[in-house]
């Protein structure tokens, strides 16, 4: 079911995205974008990130896209609606895009699933001990540390009573707490060996930064977009 | 020197000299004022009135009257002065003669009284006393007693008379001198004896018979030439003169008349010549010499718009420069060696021969010494004169050295000089008492001075200028040829005669002989009436030089005076002809003019007869004297190989007659060859003919004798060729050294000349008759066609018409090389000097350019290169910055992909 | 058939490439803006996929995605303002005319 939904939504979204690119009419392009964004929000939901998906819908589909449409409408005068791009440019762009896509795909598929979990630290062999005592020592240390971390993570997860299964956590609560400064999410291990201890991140500062950023953006946008007389018509 | 004519009657000659100078100055000032006023005068102003008063645009004859009055007055002064001088000289001569007779008496008496004493005292001794001021003590020391006292008184009397006479007729002032103060005297070079040696230049005058005669002659002829010029130059009176010989793009040259200027130059010319005659020292002569040169230059080039005239003036001037260079060298040698340029002092220092030409004993001589290995030098010639160590080591053994007594008292310690006796001077005479002068240097000095005379008198190597000088107005030619310029050379040879060694005199003789012959041959073929006269002048000057050179001092100068008259006459007559023929000078276009201008023709005939040496005419007396001198010289002992010196003048006497008659016949007889010229010809005005008549009279009778030794009187005495009064007067001025060597040897006895006079005269007369006959046959009767002989000897004719190719020779040997050298100099200047300068400049420019190039290319270039490189890099890189947003995006994508691929490909495991 | 992280990442990559190509090919400034939005969405898909499949990034992925969304909104606002200004000045929205930065 999940797979079916994913392929469906992903296919629609991908097609919409391609249509956005391919269409020559800016209004249509914006419309295809709308569908794309909606599809992405659906993907978010599918990934269990309800808050993000909701935000995606609200901010993007409801806000950003409105802005875009406004922009289109404000500037949509005859010739600008459909500004043709030469086929050569198209070819170049498409080529570059395909190259990039290929590269990305290669990157994606070279990522093994194991990479997403903790790496296995090989225990030092006897031969290593003989040949490279220092290297063996380091490896031994690393292995000990990895073990300690595994243990610590499991302990903290248990103590935090968090469900490690995806999609099972009350995400909005966690996000809200995190943004308000309450430690949230899985802990990070800081320090090595005996001094290692779990640390959980808080996101109050980024939240504040974003808010200030938005304020600046608002002011800047208002300043830039304010109605100015053209220089030639002034005075 | 005071202006007291009673005390110094000689000053009257100074006045006569200065009068033309005053006239010159007056005319010069007036002319300058006129020129100035002409430029500034305004209508009705004072300047205009002054201008009009000075003569306005056309001066009229005022300048001529001023100049003529001045020279006429000078002539009067000269005549008065000369008469006065003659009377004075006669008076003194009588007194001295009387005193000498008494001395002779006393001496014969003394001889009788005490024979040994008298034997010792030579009669020659008295001449020593002329120069001996310490005579008294000397005499007293010898103890002649009462007779001696009287003797000494008589000697003193003679001394006084002669000194007073000298003082009356001479004077001198220093006008430039050096002072040696105190012990600075010692700094005078040791060979210079007296303190005054070479320290002062003087102006002075000294009148003797020659100077007096010259004065009268010059002023008289100049006066007549002035008068003649008033008529001849009347064309110049016009405000606008058209010169038909100068062609300009606008037709003939139109110019302002130069009447005043002509007379101004004439005045200066006369002054220069008179000053030359007056001078008592060589330097003053040199000054006048140069002035004469300048005046001749100005007057020959009077029509300076004519190329030929300006060229002739240049030629005359430059040719004279050659001679003057020699003159200057001679003068400097004399100045250095003798320390004075005063003629009398020079003569006294240089030589006082034992005997003069008349075997009259003279004063103590300077001594010609041959320095031997033996320190005691021995006198050549007259005796041995031991001068112990006098010349020390200066002269090389074998050199001839003149020992010059410098101090008057030097003589006092000597006994009178005796021939053959050995005399001892002071044991060690100091250099102050002796100067020395190598003999060759004296020869060089003499040759130098003579070279000056050669230039001035147009003698053999330098005769080329005189015929060209005919470009000047005819009166100028007359003045140059008769009285002034060319006479100056002969006069100076006569004046400086004692300076000339026998070698120099021989040179003079040969130069004169060659000149007279060459010029006469050229004169035969000349067709220009003035050129014939010019060459006859050169020829006659050669006669004078020859006469002087062979020892006929009086003869040469006598001929100078007589020649002056008849040559002036002929020139003025030719001027009259030219004037009548409208400046036609070619004799081939004249002919048959006698009926039209009888006065001119007859007066000219007088001149022709005189120059030919027809008996009783003045030329006869003087030319015979010269020929006789030449014959005497030739016949003298050891001179037989100098036959040319006699043959040439004799031959030329005939040639002279021939060409002079040819000229006269061509001009005045026969049929008119050019109708145009003939029809316009007419007798000249009285202003021109009167001088001709006067000169004709003088040409005939200036040399006439008054009486002779045989007591004959006029008119019978006229046939005595030796009795010319004029010659005898000139003879009075003859230097005592004439005919005598430096060592006192009398080379050419005057008696020999005297003895051969008649023979020589007859020979010359024969030649004259032959020449005249030839002229009559060829040009009067027409038995011989000159054209035929011309065609028969084309080479000879061409040779003669080209004047022996002298001009061509000089052109090849001097003018063109000079031009080539000048060209070299010019090229050297242009190429080498300018080249070096230009090279330096170019080097500077090049260096600057290089420096600039280095600066621009290397220094700036490096900086610019750096900038350019980065600019190029930037320019290349800027293509990356397309400015297109979309391409940036593409680049970004590509870059991301590229980076990723790179990272992947290097990733391990 | 299960859906792993690779599929999500592929979708994100597709969106990203679409965005890039959109930016590269659209001459209209708004079109470029749309491309930017696509790129951001592609990135967001990745972030959220990581948050889903790596428990360590769970919260961080969400928060980053949120922030990207917010910043994208701000960016869109500013970009639109710039476009309007550009349009006011040049009377066009053709990005090719905005080549004052050309070297």
String of DSSP letters for B634-655: HHSTT-GGGTHHHHHHHHHHHH
Contacts of C62 in chain A (CB under 8 A): 49, 51-52, 171, 175
Of B886, B890, B897, which has the smallest distance from its Cβ to A103's Cβ? B897
Q: How many CB atoms lie within 10 A of CB B687?
A: 15
Instruction: Report residue B57: phi and psi, to 5°.
Output: -70, -40
Instruction: Classify burial at B471, counting beta carbons within 10 Å of its beta carbon; exposed 0-12, middle 13-18, buried 19 or more.
Output: buried
Series of mean pLDDT values for 10-residue runs along chain B (909 residues): 74 90 91 84 77 74 88 92 90 87 82 56 43 41 48 80 85 72 45 52 87 90 89 80 76 80 90 90 90 90 87 89 91 80 76 44 46 39 36 42 45 38 39 57 89 88 84 84 83 88 87 90 87 90 90 88 89 87 80 83 90 86 87 78 86 90 87 79 82 89 78 71 80 75 56 75 87 84 75 78 79 81 84 85 88 83 87 84 79 85 72
Interface residue C27 vs chain B (CB under 8 A): yes
Give residue B449's pLDDT: 92
Q: CA B344, CA B350: separation in Å to the nearest integer?
A: 10
Q: What are the sequence ranges of the domains in chain A? A: 2-164, 168-235
Q: What are the sequence ranges of the domains in chain C? A: 27-91
The single residue listed with the structure tokens 């990745």 is C46
Interface residue C51 vs chain A (CB under 8 A): yes
Return the exposure string of A179-204: e unless at least 16 CB atoms fall within 10 Å of the residue's CB, then b. beeeebbbbebeeeeeeeebeeebbe
Chain B segment 890-909 residues within 8 A of C by beta carbon are 890, 892-893
Q: CA B477, CA B469: separation in Å to the nearest integer?
A: 7
Identify from C10, C42, C47, C62 which residue to disrupt to test chain A contact, counting A C-beta atoms within 10 A and taking the largest count.
Answer: C62
Please name the residue of chain C whose CA is at the shortest distance from the CA of residue B891. Answer: C24
Distance from CA of C31 to the nearest CA of B (A): 11
Reading the block at residue B648, the tokens are 């040439």
Interface residue A97 vs chain B (CB under 8 A): yes
Chain B, chain C: beta-carbon pairs less than 8 Å apart: 45
Instruction: Classify burial at A157, counting beta carbons within 10 Å of its beta carbon; exposed 0-12, middle 13-18, buried 19 or more.
Output: middle
pLDDT bucket at A229, cuts 50 / 70 / 90: low
In sequence order, the 6+-apart residues with CB closer than 8 A to the CB of A34 are A61, A65
Four-way CATH pick for A2-164: 1.25.10, 2.60.40, 1.10.3470, 1.20.120: 1.20.120
Give residue A207's pLDDT: 84
- Type and span of the H or E element at B171: strand B170-177
Return the exposure string of B529-544: e unless at least 16 CB atoms fall within 10 Å of the residue's CB, then b. bbbbbbbbbbbbbbbb
Give residue B329's pLDDT: 92
Return the partners of chain B (3 or more C-beta pairs < 8 Å): A, C
Instruction: Classify burial at B787, counting beta carbons within 10 Å of its beta carbon; exposed 0-12, middle 13-18, buried 19 or more.
Output: exposed
Q: CA B649, CA B644: separation in Å to the nearest integer?
A: 8
Interface residue C1 vs chain B (CB under 8 A): no
Interface residue C102 vs chain B (CB under 8 A): yes
Distance separating the N- and C-terminal Cα atoms of chain C: 54
Contact flag A103-B900 (C-beta cutoff 8 Å): yes
The crossing angle, in degrees rounded to 10, of helices B686-701 and B553-580 is 150
Q: Report the range of poorest mean pLDDT among A6-15, A123-132, B455-464, B763-772.
A: A123-132
Interface residue C68 vs chain B (CB under 8 A): no
Interface residue C43 vs chain A (CB under 8 A): no
Q: CA B439, CA B475: separation in Å to the nearest integer?
A: 44
CA distances from B440 to B257, B395, B449, B691, B841 (A): 53, 12, 14, 48, 52
Give residue B275's pLDDT: 92
Contact flag B900-A99 (C-beta cutoff 8 Å): no
The crossing angle, in degrees rounded to 10, of helices B598-612 and B644-668 is 170
Q: How many CB atoms lie within 10 A of CB B223?
A: 24
DSSP code at position A199? E
Interface residue C69 vs chain A (CB under 8 A): yes
Give residue B904's pLDDT: 76
Contact flag C38-A20 (C-beta cutoff 8 Å): yes
In sequence order, the 6+-apart residues with CB closer than 8 A to the CB of B260 are B27, B30, B31, B55, B59, B62, B63
In sequence order, the 6+-apart residues with CB closer than 8 A to the CB of B680 are B580, B581, B582
Give residue B586's pLDDT: 82
Give residue A170's pLDDT: 60
Give residue B268's pLDDT: 92
Q: CA B220, CA B229: separation in Å to the nearest integer?
A: 14
Contact flag A2-C2 (C-beta cutoff 8 Å): yes
String of DSSP letters for B20-65: HHHHHHHHHHHHHHHHHHHHH--TTSHHHHHHHHTT-SS-TTHHHH
Distance separating the N- and C-terminal Cα atoms of chain A: 67
Among candidate residues B296, B338, B347, the one with its CA nearest the CA of residue B320: B296
Asked whether the beta carbons of B694 and B618 are under 8 A apart, the reply is: no
Distance from CA of C21 to the nearest CA of B (A): 8
B243 forms bridges with which residues in the sheet?
B253
Q: CA B693, CA A204: separation in Å to the nearest integer?
A: 156
Give residue A80's pLDDT: 64
Predicted-complex ipTM score: 0.89
Is the pLDDT assigned to residue A195 strictly greater than 50?
A: yes
Helix, strand or coil for residue B5?
coil
């Amino acid at each position: 079911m999940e797979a079916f939904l994913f392929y469906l939504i992903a296919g629609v979204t991908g097609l919409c995205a391609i249509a956005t690119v391919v269409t020559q009419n800016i209004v249509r392009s914006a419309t295809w974008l709308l569908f794309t964004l909606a599809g992405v929000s659906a993907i978010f939901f599918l990934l269990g990130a309800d808050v993000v998906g909701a935000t995606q819908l609200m901010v993007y589909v409801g806000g950003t896209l409105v802005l875009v449409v406004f922009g289109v409408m404000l500037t949509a005068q005859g010739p600008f609606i459909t500004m043709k791009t030469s086929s050569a440019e198209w070819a170049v762009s498409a080529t570059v895009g395909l190259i990039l896509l290929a590269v990305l795909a290669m990157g994606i598929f070279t990522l093994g699933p194991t990479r997403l979990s903790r790496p296995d630290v090989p225990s030092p062999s006897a031969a290593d001990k003989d040949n490279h005592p220092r290297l063996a020592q380091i490896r031994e240390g690393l292995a000990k540390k990895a073990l300690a971390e595994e243990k610590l993570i499991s302990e903290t997860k248990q103590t935090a009573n968090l469900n490690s299964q995806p999609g099972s956590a009350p995400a909005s609560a966690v996000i809200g707490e995190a943004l308000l400064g309450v430690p949230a999410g899985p802990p990070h291990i800081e320090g090595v060996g005996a001094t290692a201890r779990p640390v959980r991140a808080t996101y109050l500062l980024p939240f504040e930064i974003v808010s200030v950023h938005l304020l600046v953006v608002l002011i800047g946008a208002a300043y830039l977009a304010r109605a100015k007389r053209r220089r030639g018509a002034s005075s | 020197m005071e202006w007291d004519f009673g005390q110094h009657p000689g000053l009257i000659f100074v006045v006569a000299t200065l009068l033309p100078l005053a006239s010159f100055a007056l005319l010069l000032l007036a002319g300058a004022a006129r020129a100035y006023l002409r430029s500034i005068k305004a209508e009705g102003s004072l300047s205009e009135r002054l201008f009009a008063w000075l003569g306005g645009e056309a001066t009229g004859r005022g300048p001529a009257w001023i100049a003529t009055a001045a020279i006429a007055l000078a002539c009067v002064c000269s005549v008065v002065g000369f008469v006065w001088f003659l009377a004075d000289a006669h008076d003194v001569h009588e007194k001295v003669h009387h005193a000498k007779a008494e001395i002779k008496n006393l001496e014969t008496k003394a001889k009788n009284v005490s024979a040994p004493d008298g034997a010792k005292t030579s009669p020659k001794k008295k001449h020593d006393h002329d120069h001996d001021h310490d005579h008294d003590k000397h005499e007293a020391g010898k103890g002649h007693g009462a007779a001696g006292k009287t003797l000494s008184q008589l000697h003193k009397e003679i001394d006084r008379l002669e000194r007073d006479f000298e003082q009356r007729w001479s004077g001198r002032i220093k006008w430039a001198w050096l002072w040696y103060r105190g012990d600075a005297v010692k700094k005078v070079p040791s060979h210079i004896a007296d303190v005054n040696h070479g320290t002062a230049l003087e102006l002075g005058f000294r009148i003797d018979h020659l100077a007096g005669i010259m004065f009268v002659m010059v002023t008289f002829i100049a006066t007549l030439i002035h008068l003649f010029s008033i008529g001849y130059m009347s064309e110049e009176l016009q405000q606008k003169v058209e010169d038909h010989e100068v062609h300009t793009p606008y037709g003939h040259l139109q110019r302002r008349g130069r009447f005043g200027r002509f007379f101004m130059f004439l005045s200066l010319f006369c002054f220069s010549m008179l000053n030359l005659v007056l001078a008592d020292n060589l330097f003053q002569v040199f000054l006048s010499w140069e002035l004469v040169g300048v005046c001749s230059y100005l007057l020959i080039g009077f029509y300076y718009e004519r190329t030929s005239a300006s060229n002739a003036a240049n030629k005359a001037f430059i040719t004279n420069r050659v001679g003057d260079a020699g003159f200057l060298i001679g003068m400097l040698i004399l100045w250095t060696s003798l320390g004075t340029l005063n003629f009398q002092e020079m003569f006294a220092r240089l030589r006082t021969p034992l005997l003069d030409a008349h075997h009259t004993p003279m004063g103590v001589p300077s001594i010609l010494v041959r320095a031997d290995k033996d320190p005691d030098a021995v006198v050549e010639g007259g005796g041995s004169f031991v001068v112990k160590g006098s010349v020390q080591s200066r002269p090389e053994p074998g050199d001839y050295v003149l020992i010059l007594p410098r101090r008057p008292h030097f003589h006092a310690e000597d006994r009178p000089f005796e021939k053959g006796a050995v005399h001892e001077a002071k044991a060690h005479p100091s250099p102050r008492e002796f100067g020395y002068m190598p003999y060759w240097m004296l020869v060089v000095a003499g040759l130098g001075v003579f070279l000056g005379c050669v230039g001035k008198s147009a003698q053999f190597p330098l005769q080329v200028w005189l015929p060209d000088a005919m470009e000047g107005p005819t009166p100028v030619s007359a003045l140059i040829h008769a009285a002034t310029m060319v006479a100056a050379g002969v006069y100076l040879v006569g004046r400086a005669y004692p300076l000339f060694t026998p070698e120099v005199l021989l040179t003079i003789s040969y130069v004169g002989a060659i000149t007279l012959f060459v010029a006469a041959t050229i004169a035969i073929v000349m067709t220009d009436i003035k050129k014939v006269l010019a060459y006859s002048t050169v020829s006659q000057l050669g006669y004078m030089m020859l006469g002087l050179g062979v020892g006929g001092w009086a003869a040469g100068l006598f001929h100078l005076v007589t020649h002056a008259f008849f040559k002036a006459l002929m020139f003025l007559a030719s001027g009259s002809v030219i004037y009548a023929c409208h400046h036609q000078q070619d004799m081939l276009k004249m002919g048959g003019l006698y009926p039209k201008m009888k006065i001119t023709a007859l007066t000219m005939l007088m001149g022709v007869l005189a120059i030919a040496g027809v008996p009783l005419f003045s030329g006869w007396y003087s030319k015979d004297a010269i020929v006789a001198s030449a014959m005497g010289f030739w016949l003298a002992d050891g001179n037989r190989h100098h036959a040319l010196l006699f043959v040439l003048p004799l031959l030329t006497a005939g040639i002279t007659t021939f060409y002079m008659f040819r000229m006269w016949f061509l001009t005045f007889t026969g049929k008119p060859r050019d109708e145009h010229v003939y029809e316009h010809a007419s007798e000249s005005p009285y202003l021109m003919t009167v001088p001709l008549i006067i000169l004709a009279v003088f040409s005939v009778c200036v040399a006439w004798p008054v009486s002779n030794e045989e007591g004959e009187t006029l008119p019978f005495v006229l046939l005595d060729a030796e009795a010319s009064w004029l010659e005898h007067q000139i003879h009075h001025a003859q230097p005592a050294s004439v005919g005598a060597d430096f060592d006192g040897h009398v080379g050419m006895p005057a008696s020999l000349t005297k003895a051969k006079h008649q023979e020589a005269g007859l020979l010359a007369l024969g030649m004259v008759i032959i020449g005249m006959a030839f002229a009559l046959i060829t040009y009067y009767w027409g038995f011989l066609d000159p054209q035929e002989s011309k065609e028969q000897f084309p080479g000879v004719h061409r040779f003669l018409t080209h004047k022996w190719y002298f001009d061509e020779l000089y052109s090849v040997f001097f003018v063109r090389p000079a031009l080539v050298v000048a060209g070299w100099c010019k090229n050297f200047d242009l190429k080498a000097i300018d080249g070096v300068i230009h090279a330096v400049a170019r080097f500077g420019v090049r260096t600057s350019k290089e420096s600039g190039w280095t600066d621009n290319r290397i220094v700036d270039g490096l900086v610019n290169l750096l900038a350019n490189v980065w600019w190029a890099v930037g320019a290349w890189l800027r293509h990356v910055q397309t400015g297109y947003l979309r391409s940036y995006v593409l680049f970004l994508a590509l870059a991301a992909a590229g980076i990723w691929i790179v990272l992947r490909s290097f990733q391990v495991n | 058939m299960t859906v792993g992280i690779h599929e999500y990442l592929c979708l994100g990559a597709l969106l990203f490439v679409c965005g890039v190509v959109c930016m590269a090919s659209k001459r209209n400034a708004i079109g470029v803006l749309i491309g930017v939005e696509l790129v951001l969405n592609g990135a967001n898909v990745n972030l959220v996929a990581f948050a889903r499949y790596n428990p360590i990034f769970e919260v961080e992925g969400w928060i980053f995605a949120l922030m990207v969304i917010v910043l994208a909104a701000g960016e869109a606002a500013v970009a639109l303002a710039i476009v309007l200004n550009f349009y006011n000045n040049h009377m066009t929205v053709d990005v090719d005319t905005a080549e004052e930065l050309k070297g």
